Chains A and B, each alone.
Chain A
Amino acid sequence: MTTLTHEAAAKRPVSFAFLAQIVLIANSFVMLYPVVVMVFSAFKTTGEIFEHPFALPDFTQVQNFARVLGETSMPTYFLNSIVVTGASVVLILVLGTMAGYAVARYESRTNTVVLLFFLAGLMLPLKLAVIPLFILLRDLNLLDSRWSLIFTYTAIGLPSAVFIMAGFLRSLPSELEDAARIDGASEPRIMWSVMLPLARPPMAIAAIQNAVPIWNDFFFPLVFIQTDSAKTLPQGLTTFMGEYTTDWGMLFAGLTVAAAPITLLYIALSRQFIQGMTAGAVK
């Protein structure tokens, strides 16, 4: 493909490649500059933001960050987001792998129906079923707790996890199982010791694909959570932004603190993130 691009580039006028470069650089600038301004402004006082919005800050001025982490509930929101996202992803992987394994490795008519059952859930917007979910969680006494979010996110993420896991597990050769069966291994043992160690890549994809939207979700916490101590980061951020409406330094510091972990993680693992988040669409 490299030779092709070179030949083609030689034939077309230079100006086209040049124009393409300009568009790409301009686009990357538009994508990154707002994030840069957000971080810069977090190191400024409100007065400095208004007077010199584009100036480079003095990066030693960290009082905004100190206040965000010391005086507000941000650390609590953070912890809640980590617990909720972590627990949901673990549940999605466990339940999704169980169903995906059964569908992929023990083919029968019932299991095809099981797969279709999960596939039907793939496109349905559960957001619209929030009223019955609200009432159900109230009856289960889970409202206003982190469990309400964990169960909802697991339900939303499960179909795609089953889809990814079944697709991968189906591609593994049956000789592996047969060999283990001849050696007298039980079915659970085959699944646990032979097949699942091979299934780490699709598990990583399913984990990222679900972790990012769960970490970022705002709608379900807005409906289910009232108590400040149970709020997750996106919902807590609205509380925080409501309290500091005029202190722009604090606002930008809060946004920066909230955006930092996932952005840094993305920059470190961009290939896995992109693969994970576009997995369903690319196949």
Chain B
Amino acid sequence: MPVSPKQARTLKHRSWVAFLVVPPIVFMSLFVVYPILSAFAYAFYEWRGLARGEFVGLANFREVLFGPTMGPVVWNAFLHNVYALVALMVVQNGGGFFLAWLLYKEPFGFRFHRVAVFVPVVLSTIIVGFLWKLFLNPNFGIVNQALYSVGLDSLARPWLGDSSTALGALILANAWHFVGFPTLVYLAGMQRIPSEIIEAARLDGTSEWQLLKNVVWPLVAPSTTILFTLLFIGAFNWFEIPYVMVGLDGSPFGSTDVLGLVFYRTAFGNQSASVQNFGQGSALATLLFLFIVVFASMLTLWLRRREIQF
């Protein structure tokens, strides 16, 4: 069949575009789409080590949610994730908002403070975890040493070994690590507010708190949307800080257990006892996946609605 020059040109053009898009799509399909779809499928099978066994329907899901051994562990961990989410929302994102407002006024030393608050963000979570684990050491850590040196001996305690303080310590270490991120995202959001709006509010004699609450907060809503959504995803994927600081078992007494640790233990086992269970691990991953996608989308949509255009 003879090909006209025009057809030849289109063909050439098409193959060029295909050359551009096909490799990235193949790559994504192989290493993202296929694993995610398989994770759903794996959850419906029994697994013997690395080998897939029988189709067992919803048995893995039932065991993960309501089974006598897994159920209580999973729900306990879930509550800790919720707790971490709420606490980080206040300490990390809330703290970031107020720090951003202080930086927004570009006070003396503004550049220095802006660089300083972001230093921990670039550090690896593993470094942050080990660093705070050493600082929180009951005998020699600087946290207790500092308390002793100012005479607050009664406050010193084995922070990570005490089930009433361990989770809080992990949350604070996480907030120290990441507070710079919301700070700079909020700062960027505040700098995008037209200065006439803030000027007008100030001329009306609005108090600082009123300005913050009624003008700045609503106008940085787009920053809030993205920060809350990212924090939501991060809080339910929480793994590194607890793993490094208190270990795979969520010790002491499961008081720092989170879903990330439960998932890892279930799927890949741990040194002490348990075996790999890819079926239950996949069921847990699937549930967590659906939970994150559904709630993160709802959160985003809900937060988007309260954004104001200006």
A95 and B185 within 8 A (CB): no
A132 and B119 within 8 A (CB): no
A114 and B208 within 8 A (CB): no
Chain A 1-16 interface residues, beta-carbon cutoff 8 Å to B: 1-2, 4-5, 7-9, 11-12, 16
B20 and A99 within 8 A (CB): yes
Chain B 22-75 interface residues, beta-carbon cutoff 8 Å to A: 23-25, 27-28, 30-32, 34-36, 38-39, 42, 50
Q: How far is the CA of A123 from the CA of B297 in the complex (A)?
A: 10
Q: In the complex, identify which listed stretch (B77-85, B121-129, B157-165) lies at the interface while the others stay far away.
A: B121-129
**Number of residues on chain B facing chain A (CB within 8 A):** 92
Q: Name the residue of chain A whose CB is nearest to the CB of B13.
A: A187
In the complex with contacts A20-B105, A136-B34, A278-B184, A263-B267 CB distance below 8 A: no
B142 and A54 within 8 A (CB): yes
Q: How far is the CA of A248 from the CA of B121 in the complex (A)?
A: 24
The interface residues of chain B lying within 8 Å CB-to-CB of A207 are none
Contact with A along B174-216 (1 / 0, CB 8 A): 0010011100110011000001001100100000100000000
B107 and A35 within 8 A (CB): no
Q: How far is the CA of A143 from the CA of B121 in the complex (A)?
A: 30
A273 and B118 within 8 A (CB): yes
The interface residues of chain A lying within 8 Å CB-to-CB of B184 are 274, 278
Chain A 115-148 interface residues, beta-carbon cutoff 8 Å to B: 117-118, 121, 123-133, 135-136, 138
Q: Name the residue of chain B whose CB is nearest to the CB of A219.
A: B239
Q: How large is the interface on A (under 10, 10 to 19, 20 to 34, 35 or more residues)?
A: 35 or more
The one of A25, A96, A135, A251 in contact with B50, judged by C-beta atoms closer than 8 angstroms, is A135
In the complex with contacts A99-B24, A187-B16, A28-B126 CB distance below 8 A: no
Say whether B281 faces chain A, with CB atoms less than 8 Å apart. yes
Say whether A43 faces chain B, with CB atoms less than 8 Å apart. no
12 more CB-based (< 8 A) A-B contacts, given A23-B99, A255-B127: A34-B131, A34-B135, A35-B123, A96-B24, A111-B17, A114-B21, A123-B293, A132-B34, A136-B31, A158-B32, A234-B124, A282-B188
Q: Which residues of A contact B (CB under 8 A)?
A: 1-2, 4-5, 7-9, 11-12, 16-17, 20-21, 23-25, 27-28, 30-32, 34-35, 37-38, 49-50, 53-54, 95-96, 98-99, 101-103, 106, 111, 114, 117-118, 121, 123-133, 135-136, 138, 151-152, 154-156, 158-159, 162, 187-188, 212, 215-216, 218-219, 223, 233-235, 237-238, 241, 248, 251-252, 255, 258-259, 262-263, 266-267, 270, 273-274, 277-278, 280-282
